[in-house]
Structure 1
Amino acid sequence: MAARKAAKSKNKRKPARKVAKRNTKRRSLLYKLVFWPLILLEHATKSWHPIYRFLVKSGAALASIGLFIFLLMAVFYGLRAQTYDLDKVTEMPARSIVYANDGKTEIGTVHGDNRLMLEFDQISPWFIKALIAREDARFYDHGAIDPRGLARAFSRFVTRGKKEGASTITMQLADNTFSYAGKTVDGKLLEMAIAIRIENRFNKEEILQHYMNRIFWGHSIRGIESASRTYFEKPASQLSLSEAAMLAGIIRGPNAFSPFVNFEKAVEQRDVTLSRMVHYEFITQDQADSAKKEQLKIRPDGRRIIHDSYAMDAIRRDLEVILEQHNIQMGGLHITTTIDPHLQKAAEHAIESHLSKMEKRSGFAHQTRPQYLRIPQQQRKEPKYLQGAVVCIENKSGAIRAIVGGRNADESKFNRALHGRRQIGSLFKPFVYMSAFDKGLQPGAWVRDSRIRPGEIKGAQRSWSPANSDGEYKSMMTVAEALAKSRNTASVRIGDYAGINNVLETARKVGFNQKIPNTPATYLGAFEATPQQVAQAYTVFSNGGTIYRPFIISQITDADGNVVYPGSGALSYTAAKTGSAWSVSNTLQEVTTRGTAASLRSVYNFKAPSGGKTGTTDNYRDAWFAGYTSSLTCAVWVGMDNNTRTMSRGYGSTLALPIWANVMKAADSRVYPTHSLKPTFPFQNVRICRFTSQIATPGCESHRSAYTASIPIDLIPEHTCDNHPIRAEVLPEEPSTPPRALPVR
């Protein structure tokens, strides 16, 4: 029994010994695989002197430890480098370029950094060679890291104590793209790891392209295109050898070596770059000598300040509504606007030229612009000189062709064209009359121009009795005459006939969407509006009752030509009856020939068919003129920002009308033809009663109030005269609520 137990125990120990033996063999094999260099070295130096063997084996051990540490660091920094998104290399906040309505003329830049993106083949070859010669001469021969450069930098630091950069262009691209502690040892090692990833992702030309688009050149300039345009006023594709060498030379100290700051130092850096280009055989010595003799033409002082404009302010505000925040931050877009650069310049010049003349008039009591400019710049505050605003809109599309919000956008940022709400006064009267025409009133009807009697006007206080501007009162006149002469008392009666709610609805439809007082004073324009609102509203007359939504952005594309915003196009709606709009327009045309704007023809020699209305508020605080041709509508405002009196006899015809004339005369007739404003829709001759604007009856004939009027078919009355119903005949479809006769008592 004991023998059997001993045998079993012996059999169990045999497999255990076999397992242990196998494990020992595995460990031995692993040791040989890992330390085979040391084992091989042991065998190779077996016969050497012990001291030599010790030295060699110690060196080998240190090398092995170094290799282990290197591999460990490579894994560590390689993993850290993986956390950086290489797509960021190609994503650079760049300026979005804003173009005029032709899609070619640049009128400004917005958003992003002061950078304009370019492709590799859009950059002068001279600059590419100069950059490589100055920054990384062996760029095409090494990978992300230049071992020779590192060895040289280390050697000079050890022997001379001199720190010297050894970063390659790829490493600099990594440093310019990502945020990390690049000046520390840890940062440099991480930079190398990221640079290796960049070299594996992009080819050499792509690396150069992204680097050249990222370089900082001082003065907030980023990228070769912005640098070339800023310093030499030319695209980067046209840089000469001398210009390219200068730009490459100032990269290492952009603020210190800027030609704007120290031209002599910039020239020195150019010469150093040319010498390096010769050394590395990028150019010949003769080419370098010739380039050094070239006279560099740097942008002069007067053109180094980028001036703001009110048109760009309006464009930026629309972009903030249209674009998402990411698009705004990254920029790089191509924005086509509706601005006509020729008309825009004409509008800017017209305002400054005319208001300068007004400031020279005897007795002008305010600060003038020359006086403001004599104030030291650091002491200047918001100007207090006479201001103006212009908005020009294309009738059949709503495209804003010119917008000026003041005399100088650098001196005053407030854009009066968009945000300057000022009382519009009699400029609103045409819309009161249009409301009355929509209700059934005819231009040939009679209206009293006498004083307003207490209780006569619905909703007015008994003491309210507005006066006419000339202080005189007439008895009876036609509605058309009352509008042409801008009579206040007659206009209030016209508004009372139309009804305050109808007038307010008309105001809303034409674009006055702010809160307007629900009082009879509104009939005389006792509320505030902006020049853009006025311009939009006045397009209703040339468009026969149609309004087009104003817009200033027509299309936006990205750098690759993909459409980001296709534009909304011409969006229109009906704001009034066609006949009503034309009836007002017909009278407004008379205003420019024999009314308050007659000087448009006689003094300012504007001959094209047009209509318009002057406006002057109490005590000459605001001067307006809004007018139109068949193609364009333009609104002009002139006044003081503090809402004080402008000047003695500062009428709309004196301050605003001349500006309008100069702007509209500058409009190219080939682009904005001035056709006749005569209507194209049908009319019909009808006998009408002057008292009620209804179809005349024999009673009207006997009272001599009947007349023959050529009436647009959409305004032909459907009811016979209520005041003279002698043998009156009612038409088949009589409205349930016939129009109320205009009160003439």
Structure 2
Amino acid sequence: MPKPSPKDSSSPTGKLSDSRSNNRKKAPTSKPVGLGSVVLFWPFHIFHLFLKPLPAFLRMPLRIGGDLAISGAYVGLIMAVFYYIRAKPYDMAKVAEMPQRTIVYDRRGEELGRIHGEKRDVIDISQVSPDFLAAILSREDERFYNHGGVDWIGVGRAVVENFKRGGIEQGASTLTMQLARNSFPLKSKWLDFSGKIQELDRKFLEVAVSYRIESHYTKQEILQHYVNRIFWGHSIRGIEEASRTYFEKHAKELTLSESALLAGIVRGPNAFSPFNDIEKAVRERNGTLDRMVVAGTLTPDKAEEAKKDPITVRPEWRRIFHDSYAMDAIRRELERILEEENIELGGLEITTTIDNLIQKKAEEALDAKLRQIERSPGYPHQTRAQWKELPEGQKTRPEYIQGSVVAVENMSGAVLAIVGGRNADESKFNRALQGRRQIGSVFKPFVYLSAFDQGVRPDTLVSDGPIYKGEIKGAGNWRPQNSDGKFGGMLPAATGLIRSRNTMSVRLGNRAGIDKVADTALSVGFETPMPKLPTSYLGAWEATTYEVASAYTIFPNGGRRYPQRIIDEIRDRKGNVLYKNDKISYEATRSGSAWTVSNILREVTERGTAASIKSLGFNKPCGGKTGTTNDYKDAWFAGYTSSITCAVWVGLDTPKKTIDRGYGSTLALPVWADIMKTADKLGYKAEGLKSQLSFVECRLCRESGKRATAGCENASEAYTDNVPADLAPADNDLCPIHPAKALAVDESTAHHDDEPLRAQAVSEDEVIMEEEEAPLKAIPVEE
């Protein structure tokens, strides 16, 4: 039986149920939750339902804390999406693409230097010492293999430590995070107005990019990219370059002590550099060894043993990477090739034609000779030693005596050595390429070459007497003297070159013609057009050592020229050939003329102005020509063997007298001889200068070089010569100086109308001289 309801005195019915019924009717009804709210804020709704049964005093603080936590999660989610979208455009392939320096090798595979790009050498992780890998992980990211890009345990630890210390004393960057910020520019320029906000934004973006890196690469790949990217101070990037720079060894050869030191200085590479402060570097090494013990990768005993190892870094005198004139020439050539071939800079492997053994010898030989000159009694100019002793603030452009050398392989045009001065660190001016100086008598062979092309022969007689006014076309009153101040009579043309006779050279140039000589100069490799003045016959115009060396290669090459080249091949780091410089050649002049001049230049080194070459210790077959300009301002020697052609110049940058009697044979020839002796030992053999030419026996006139006539025979000017086939005069190309002439006869002699008139040869004493313009004539006679 049900119990009666309790009574309520305030109720008209006296029942409590009436009051409750009335209260329920008056209570406001709650609004239904919208679909959008459920979808967007369902975590709040679920959390609130979970808290509903709890007492009010618990429910309110929990609700406030929980709502804040859920709001934080919402903010975190929004930020994660925001930074994921911002991290998405970054190309992960760029992580593995690191700007490397271009490595330059000589023809033997020896490294000459590095240019372009960053100071880095990318290597595989297998080429890195395991001790270093253990050290860098212990120091920078102990849980590297246990996180996905961000070490949240490390983050928590850093937050606690920084809170305790009241500042940012400890970071939590993983190797992946460091790799992210070293691979991509993560700072947002639109946040430049606030450095703190910008840094915070960069950190969040770094985290997002780190997760992308972890999803794209394996841990080993990430570690490899990291050790190749890391900065080690002094512009050094990557473990291989750091190892080579600091310890002069490859990364695989690092000891435990050296590995710990390099790992230790990463956090402050310039501040802790062993080059700057060895004590700080050792302290960082010891700290890293202790961390390795804590991480369990090293025993305490081995750590203590490693701490006792002495640190031996690259000596100070070997820390300066010296420039060289060969590298300057290579850079110039490379820039032209890259532009023409559209090859991207950096990370290339360039094989050059330079032979570093000859390059070094050329540098040493030049400086040794110039130091000898500076030690001569009464030497009037600044010496290099005096310049080096000047205080740094007082050093200006060097004024000491300089020189340049270029050595070229005959049958390829390959530049074996190029020296543009005594020291590229003291003077960047590359005299071999940029120094245009008067070339003097070294140009004379090309004047003779032009004359031989025009029919002159070595035995053709040429006057060595004074030049008279009006004799040389375009010369005006210019009347050059011979270097010895003397004159001779009619001499063979070859003698003029062997003895370097100015008057004979000018006459032969005039005979060949200024246009012909100028064309020859361009054809053999002189880049600047020769001034069309008679003084040019004696080399009174300017060219570089590079041009002179190239031009002289036509003599041992029988008239062919291989344009000079200094870069042989360019490859990328994968070994793909991007550029190959195949040797080409062309006929610069008639082979017979080149062979003829070469024969004479060989005599120059045997009994001419370069005869001292044997006393200098070089006794192999060779040819060449000395050159000395007015007042001994420039001294030259250009010469060749069957393998190499080499040109040497000596002088002061500001043209002035070097020393008394500063001839090419005195100043330049000894340098050439030293270089050639070394080249011969290295396999560039100086053998006999041979020719494949065919020859024709001809009866010629000594005065005209043409086919001899009866007049030449009567005048005793005819001789027999073996002439290169391409130079042999045609059968009807007869001497115009000694033609067949007619004898005057007695008028009383009968003349028969039915017989033709005939000419008879006469002796030279009976020649009737005509005006210069009129041709020689025959006088008819009757038999």
TM-score, normalised relative to structure 1: 0.91
**Structure 1 Cα separation of the partners of residues 141 and 341 of structure 2:** 34
- Determine which of 346, 364, 377 is the counterpart of 1:331: 346
**Is residue 123 of structure 1 aligned with residue 128 of structure 2?**
yes
CA contact (8 A) 1:609 1:674 kept: yes
Match of 2:90 in 1: 84
Q: 582-591 or 679-688, which moves further after superposition?
A: 679-688
| Residue-by-residue CA offset, 1:519-572 (whole Å, 9 max, x unaligned) | 111111110000000000000000000010101111111111111222x22111
The alignment yields a C-alpha RMSD, in angstroms, of 2.0
- Determine which of 439, 461, 468 is the counterpart of 1:424: 439
Match of 1:593 in 2: 606
In 2 relative to 1, CA 264–121 (structure 1 residues): closer, same or farther, beyond 3 Å? Answer: same
Structure 1 segment 563-712 matched on structure 2, within 5 A: 563-566=577-580, 568-601=581-614, 603-669=615-681, 671-712=683-724
In 2 relative to 1, CA 452–689 (structure 1 residues): closer, same or farther, beyond 3 Å? Answer: same
- How far the C-alpha of 1:36 sits from its partner, in A, is 4.1
In structure 2, runs of 5+ residues without a counterpart are 1-30, 189-195, 743-771, 774-783
Match of 2:390 in 1: 375
Match of 2:721, SS?
Answer: strand
**Structure 1 Cα separation of the partners of residues 648 and 165 of structure 2:** 73
Match of 1:179 in 2: 185
| Residue-by-residue CA offset, 1:151-199 (whole Å, 9 max, x unaligned) | 1111122233142111111111111122234972111111111111111
- Determine which of 320, 331, 344 is the counterpart of 1:305: 320
In 2 relative to 1, CA 326–206 (structure 1 residues): closer, same or farther, beyond 3 Å? Answer: farther
Match of 2:73 in 1: 67
| Residue-by-residue CA offset, 1:36-75 (whole Å, 9 max, x unaligned) | 4444444444432112122222222222211111111111
Q: In terms of Rg, which structure is larger?
A: 2
**Structure 2 Cα separation of the partners of residues 326 and 676 of structure 1:** 40
Structure 1 segment 258-407 matched on structure 2, within 5 A: 258-324=273-339, 330-407=345-422
- Determine which of 247, 258, 265 is the counterpart of 1:243: 258
In 2 relative to 1, CA 475–84 (structure 1 residues): closer, same or farther, beyond 3 Å? Answer: same
CA contact (8 A) 1:94 1:330 kept: no
**Structure 2 Cα separation of the partners of residues 209 and 155 of structure 1:** 31
Q: 361-370 or 174-183, which moves further after superposition?
A: 174-183
- Determine which of 90, 106, 114 is the counterpart of 1:109: 114
Match of 2:626, SS?
Answer: strand
Structure 1 segment 459-538 matched on structure 2, within 5 A: 459-461=474-476, 463-538=477-552
CA contact (8 A) 1:133 1:277 kept: yes
Match of 2:455 in 1: 440
| Residue-by-residue CA offset, 1:673-709 (whole Å, 9 max, x unaligned) | 2221132222222111001111112221111000111
Q: 168-177 or 577-586, which moves further after superposition?
A: 168-177
**Structure 1 Cα separation of the partners of residues 679 and 50 of structure 2:** 96
- Determine which of 232, 238, 256 is the counterpart of 1:223: 238
**Structure 1 Cα separation of the partners of residues 517 and 342 of structure 2:** 42
CA contact (8 A) 1:698 1:727 kept: no
**Structure 1 Cα separation of the partners of residues 676 and 662 of structure 2:** 21
Identity level (%): 54
Q: 607-616 or 181-190, which moves further after superposition?
A: 181-190
Match of 2:18 in 1: none
| Residue-by-residue CA offset, 1:447-481 (whole Å, 9 max, x unaligned) | 001111111111221x1101111100001100011
Match of 2:56 in 1: 50
In 2 relative to 1, CA 123–330 (structure 1 residues): closer, same or farther, beyond 3 Å? Answer: farther
Match of 2:555, SS?
Answer: helix
Match of 1:187, SS?
Answer: helix
Match of 2:738, SS?
Answer: coil
1:544 partner letter: G
Structure 1 segment 192-211 matched on structure 2, within 5 A: 192-211=207-226
In 2 relative to 1, CA 676–727 (structure 1 residues): closer, same or farther, beyond 3 Å? Answer: farther
- How far the C-alpha of 1:34 sits from its partner, in A, is 4.4
| Residue-by-residue CA offset, 1:278-310 (whole Å, 9 max, x unaligned) | 111112222212211222211111111111111
| Residue-by-residue CA offset, 1:87-143 (whole Å, 9 max, x unaligned) | 3322322211111102x2111111112112212222212111111111111111101
In 2 relative to 1, CA 458–330 (structure 1 residues): closer, same or farther, beyond 3 Å? Answer: closer
**Structure 1 Cα separation of the partners of residues 613 and 430 of structure 2:** 27
**Is residue 135 of structure 1 aligned with residue 150 of structure 2?**
no
| Residue-by-residue CA offset, 1:347-380 (whole Å, 9 max, x unaligned) | 0000011110111111210001111111123321
Q: 680-689 or 522-531, which moves further after superposition?
A: 680-689
1:538 partner letter: Y
1:408 partner letter: N
| Residue-by-residue CA offset, 1:232-259 (whole Å, 9 max, x unaligned) | 0111121111111100101111111111
- How far the C-alpha of 1:83 sits from its partner, in A, is 3.3
TM-score, normalised relative to structure 2: 0.87
**Structure 1 Cα separation of the partners of residues 606 and 51 of structure 2:** 116
Match of 2:77, SS?
Answer: helix
Match of 1:166 in 2: 172
CA contact (8 A) 2:433 2:544 kept: yes
Match of 1:9 in 2: none
**Is residue 146 of structure 1 aligned with residue 144 of structure 2?**
no
2:120 partner letter: R
The total of aligned residue pairs comes to 702
Which aligned segments of 4 or more residues in structure 1 are displaced greater than 6 angstroms?
A: 325-329
In 2 relative to 1, CA 330–248 (structure 1 residues): closer, same or farther, beyond 3 Å? Answer: farther
1:120 partner letter: I
**Structure 1 Cα separation of the partners of residues 454 and 545 of structure 2:** 28
Match of 2:284, SS?
Answer: helix
CA contact (8 A) 1:697 1:727 kept: no
CA contact (8 A) 2:522 2:529 kept: no
In 2 relative to 1, CA 43–384 (structure 1 residues): closer, same or farther, beyond 3 Å? Answer: closer
Q: 668-677 or 611-620, which moves further after superposition?
A: 668-677
- How far the C-alpha of 1:671 sits from its partner, in A, is 2.6
- The structure, 1 or 2, with the larger RCO (C-alpha pairs under 8 Å, 6+ apart) is 1
- How far the C-alpha of 1:640 sits from its partner, in A, is 0.4
Match of 2:19 in 1: none
In 2 relative to 1, CA 86–114 (structure 1 residues): closer, same or farther, beyond 3 Å? Answer: same
In 2 relative to 1, CA 459–325 (structure 1 residues): closer, same or farther, beyond 3 Å? Answer: closer
**Is residue 551 of structure 1 aligned with residue 565 of structure 2?**
yes
**Is residue 721 of structure 1 aligned with residue 735 of structure 2?**
yes
Q: 317-326 or 635-644, which moves further after superposition?
A: 317-326
